[in-house]
């Protein structure tokens, strides 16, 4: 028994185990394979550095570890695939680092959280304008979890029997395992629709063959797609989905909406996406911000996960106030009847996105989108001029990211990538492991961070590597 651990006495442990319906502590870890479990004596487990360290020693040790990292700033990385190099305005970092926001958690008590709630309300309002959807929540983890929640939401809305969701074969492969982890325990099946080998677009005939009004809950697309091309058939896909009684879900990169039609305009019932480009930085992979929106239909809204901030008035109608008007999370209000188990607060990320959107405004988004289109198309054009290189692989229009094939160069992309790294250039993402039919193909990303000099350096370096 430990004096400061009240649950350490054996009788208390047994009572706790009995209450939750298990006979031993080992049962709590049954999902961990036997081979992965520690078998030795916990008291003799050697961890850490063997002794307590002073602040100076810790700083030196950590800085030594940091020195192993390579930071690509000149030029910025040409890597995308779900986390993209975008500029983060200084004011975004300044506002999100203010103590009144930085230390804030979920605003359970509206009487003392009005400023925090207003910030989230403004985020929802601006995101709704950007997506052209009526309802936006403010608490999803990232694009992958938002997509998974949207699939489960569609199944709940459609009631019994509809346990299939159709997705594009070109869907972001990093999202797939997250979505499966969310949906498989609920009996939801994810089925892929073929894509046109020339354009990359979803095969509408294959979509119709796989659709069924009996068991398909929703059809999901990404626009732009993981491979960069714009799903030009988006509106038609939505109409087909609705004809078969399925919901239409669109996953989107919000930066693209300065030049592309919004999910609401394309007929989406639900829109999801990644807020990372909106002033959050790459941050070594997170934390990010999952975007989640729906059209105004109470049958749909009632099944939304997370929380929504609303604007109301005092009883006498003289003052405005903010409150959480939908909070169906498992730890608050709904408990076991919750629509979702999401519980981490993404408020700080949502605030950063709100500041970023307010800075750019409508015209700023358009200018940024056009700049990215110009620069990414210039990069694709120059790469395509290299003998043995094809860019882009697909004939469809693209935004920010595009595929580059090196089959004609007779060199494995892995070698090209390694040689680029030696020149302090981080190349694109090899996609052949997910799409072997594309051969030696990589996904390159070009944003406002890449100027003409950066792109020309990439092109000349690849020419040098290929001996062209």
Side-chain-facing half-sphere of 9: CA atoms under 13 Å: 6
Instruction: Report the greatest alpha carbon distance in the chain.
Output: 78
pLDDT of 331 > 60? The answer is: no
What is residue 330's predicted lDDT score, i.e. its pLDDT?
53
The first and second tokens of residue 465, run together, are 């590597």
Element (DSSP H or E) covering residue 441: strand 441-445
Mean per-residue pLDDT, 305-328:
87
Spatial neighbors of 27 by CB under 8 A, at least 6 apart, are none
CB 290 within 8 A of CB 274: yes
- Between CA 241 and CA 250 the distance in angstroms is 12
CA separation, residue 182 to residues 85, 175, 185, 337 (Å): 28, 11, 7, 17
The first and second tokens of residue 431, run together, are 């996609």
The first and second tokens of residue 33, run together, are 């394979």
DSSP letters of 191-235? EEEPB-TTT--B-HHHHHHH--TTTEEEEEEEES-TTSB--TTHH
- Tens-place pLDDT, residues 125-171: 999 999 999 999 987 899 999 999 999 999 999 978 899 999 999 99
Structural domains of the chain, ranges and CATH numbers in brackets: 10-54 (no CATH), 90-357 (3.40.640.10), 362-466 (3.90.1150.10)
Is 308 in a helix, a strand, or coil?
A: strand
| Nearest Cα to Cα of residue 264 among 296, 289, 242, 232 | 296
Q: How confident is the model at residue 50 (pLDDT cuts 50, 70, 90)?
A: confident
What is residue 104's predicted lDDT score, i.e. its pLDDT?
62
CB 222 within 8 A of CB 80: no
What is residue 314's predicted lDDT score, i.e. its pLDDT?
86
CA angle, residues 450, 81, 405, in degrees to nearest 5: 80
Spatial neighbors of 63 by CB under 8 A, at least 6 apart, are none
Give the lowest-confidence range in 39-48, 91-100, 148-157: 39-48
- Tens-place pLDDT, residues 354-409: 999 999 999 999 999 999 999 999 999 999 999 999 999 999 999 999 999 999 99
- Between CA 13 and CA 36 the distance in angstroms is 25
Is 57 in a helix, a strand, or coil?
A: helix
């Amino acid at each position: 028994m430990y004096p400061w651990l009240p649950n350490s006495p054996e009788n208390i442990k047994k009572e706790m185990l009995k209450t939750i319906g298990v006979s031993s502590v080992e049962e709590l870890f049954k999902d961990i394979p036997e081979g992965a479990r520690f078998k030795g004596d916990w008291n003799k487990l050697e961890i850490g550095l063997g002794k307590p360290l002073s602040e100076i020693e810790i700083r030196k040790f950590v800085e030594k570890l940091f020195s192993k990292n390579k930071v690509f700033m000149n030029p910025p990385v040409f890597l995308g695939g779900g986390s993209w190099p975008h500029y983060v305005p200084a004011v975004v970092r300044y506002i999100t680092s203010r103590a009144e926001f930085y230390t804030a958690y979920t605003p359970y008590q509206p009487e003392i959280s009005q400023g925090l709630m207003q910030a989230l309300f403004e985020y929802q309002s601006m995101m709704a304008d950007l997506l052209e959807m009526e309802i936006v929540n403010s608490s999803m983890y990232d694009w992958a979890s938002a997509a998974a929640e949207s699939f489960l939401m569609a199944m709940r809305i459609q009631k019994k029997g509809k346990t299939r969701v159709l997705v594009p074969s070109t869907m972001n492969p990093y999202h797939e395992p997250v979505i499966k982890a969310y949906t498989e325990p609920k009996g939801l099946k994810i089925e892929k629709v073929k894509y046109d080998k020339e354009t990359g677009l979803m095969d509408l005939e294959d979509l119709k063959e796989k659709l069924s009004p009996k068991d398909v809950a929703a059809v999901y697309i990404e626009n732009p797609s993981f491979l960069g091309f714009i799903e030009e058939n988006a509106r038609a896909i939505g109409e087909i989905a609705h004809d078969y009684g399925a919901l239409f879900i669109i996953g989107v990169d919000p930066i693209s909406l300065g030049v592309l039609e919004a999910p609401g305009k394309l007929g989406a019932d639900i829109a999801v996406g990644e807020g990372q480009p909106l002033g959050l930085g790459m941050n070594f992979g997170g934390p990010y911000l999952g975007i989640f929106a729906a059209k105004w239909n109470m049958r749909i809204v009632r099944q939304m996960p997370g929380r929504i901030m609303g604007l109301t008035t005092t009883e006498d109608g003289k003052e405005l106030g903010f409150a959480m008007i939908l909070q169906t999370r498992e730890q608050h209000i709904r408990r076991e009847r919750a629509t979702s188990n999401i519980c981490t607060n993404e408020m700080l990320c949502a605030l950063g996105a709100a500041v970023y959107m307010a800075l750019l405004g409508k015209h700023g988004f358009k200018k940024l989108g056009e700049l990215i289109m110009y620069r990414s198309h210039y990069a694709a054009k120059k790469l395509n001029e290299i003998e043995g290189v094809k860019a882009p692989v697909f004939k469809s229009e693209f935004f920010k990211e595009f595929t580059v094939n090196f089959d004609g160069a007779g060199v494995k992309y892995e070698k090209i990538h390694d040689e680029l790294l030696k020149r302090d250039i981080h190349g694109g993402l090899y996609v052949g492991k997910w799409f072997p039919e594309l051969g030696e193909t990589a996904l390159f990303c070009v944003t406002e961070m890449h100027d003409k000099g950066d792109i020309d350096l990439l092109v000349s370096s690849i020419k040098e590597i290929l001996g062209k």
